[in-house]
Structure 1
Amino acid sequence: MPKPPELVLLFHPEQLGEVERFSTFYTGTYSFDPRDVRALRGVTGHFLKARRLRHLAERLVPNLNIDEAQLEEHGSTPADNASELATVLEASIVEIYSSLDCTVKTLFAIYNPGASSRKKSTRRFFLNYDPDSTKMPPEIATTLADVGWYRRLLHLRDELTHLDTGAVHRDSETRLIRYIHHGLTEQANALVIDDIFEWIDTTLVDVDAWLGQVFHFLNSTLSNAEVTVPCAVVEGRFMMRMVSGKPPVTFHSGRCISAQWFDIPGNPRCPFASECGAYQRRATFPPPEAVS
């Protein structure tokens, strides 16, 4: 069995994005049922999967050389490589939308958990937002002021779940990858995206910015209640601390709860203890009662 690393740092709050920050600290303020916990995890999970699929698609682009060579030599091609590329690109698009789905589910879990499935619809949330039925604060409505990117993303997600795969073509001059789907229309014409990679990249940026706005506000609602989080793994043992998610949160925030055992001679000591603010404020616990 390979020897585990002597030190793995796990607590670096300065590097957390807004979604990760909320996911780390929300339990001190909100209580979610298991389904809502999965939804919150899905916000980041689906978004990261969308990015990975986009990068995977980029690595498939050179395979178009095979299709183009077949076309040049035989006058036709089954376009297997283009179909594979289109499939991965479409999967990325669907994953982007799934991240939005999970965000809307999280918002309803906080502000209106008893709402009907119809009211919890992501489509309804973006296109027909009603503060009275959602019961959400005005800060959430403010995030919807500039979401012009949503309609095309919705259109693609809806249709891609029911239609065959679209097609991609590499322009011989610009070398850009054009995406075409004859089963989809925009303004009565077949859907054509001249640079599908650029469109996905822009959509990822837009969605990421919206997620940042939403979860920045949610982070501002966190209470001072402490949650227990892992700091590091030292010689195979977890170091833990209790810390509030109320900003600002730094590496020195909170109270160390592992000092009670790593201060005992013979146990692996936390290498950050001498300079860690959490260790200076370490939690104290009453001694265990004697067993008669």
Structure 2
Amino acid sequence: MSTTERMAVLGAGTMGVGIAYVGAQAGYEVLLVEPDDARVAGALRTVSDAVQSAISRGKLDEETGAALVARITRVGTIEDLPEGLDFLIESVPERLDLKREVLARAAARKPVVLASNTSALSIDDLAAATPAPHAFLGMHFFNPVWSIKLVELVRGEATSEETLDRARAFAARIGKESLTVRNVPGFATSRLDLIASLEAMRMLESGVASAEDIDRAAVVAYRHPVGPLRLSDIVGLDVRLDIARTLQAAHGERFAPPEILFRMVEEGRLGAKSGRGFFDWPKT
């Protein structure tokens, strides 16, 4: 298959796996870059489980599901990627130094569009690591990627109209609606989401109600599909903490992380990925 039908995802964490899944579902041959063997094994199990769930719900048939899984191939390092891929999406943890290092290596593979799946970091700060900032933008996906239909496109100062057009077309192909935002810390969705989650944590911390009832209020009264505390567990409490620190520095104390969040991260209670956060989660 030609490079116009191939894409790469850097990182086989929760978000990277989801992006790989929707890319494969849309017909792309997906190169999933991950050096850690155990993480790759877990990622492929997640993909297989998601496919089986879709088959059981009548969303996919067996043949289509098997073809989807077969279109995802593990690649050990960025340097093993072919040059000239249409899309190369970075999805490593929310640390500026790490993302810059990964993006610099990715840019050397000369993709047509290079994107960062960041929920809070400055696209201009990240673009400084690339030699072609006009071909770089933020593509903020939402967890679970295969279910939530939105992707937030973040335009940096140097991002070209052509790059944005390509990103919009890519989003449509993988079944997403896109919105375009300026490069303001937290963009649009992260600010809205985080402020609700931090307030829910403060309510729990001060004994307003149980975690179950705080979440039930959001689901029943406001028709949210999932409550803010359960969503925080799904996102990862360490990720929540990193984003809160970034937005606190940019926008002030209304985004200051509450003590309960610091404490839970220190204790290793990171949410679904550790088996315990505000709720207990089955080990996968």
User: Which fold has the larger relative contact order, with Cα–Cα distance below 8 Å and residues 6 or more apart in sequence?
Assistant: 1
**Higher radius of gyration, 1 or 2:** 1
**TM-score calculated relative to the size of structure 1:** 0.21
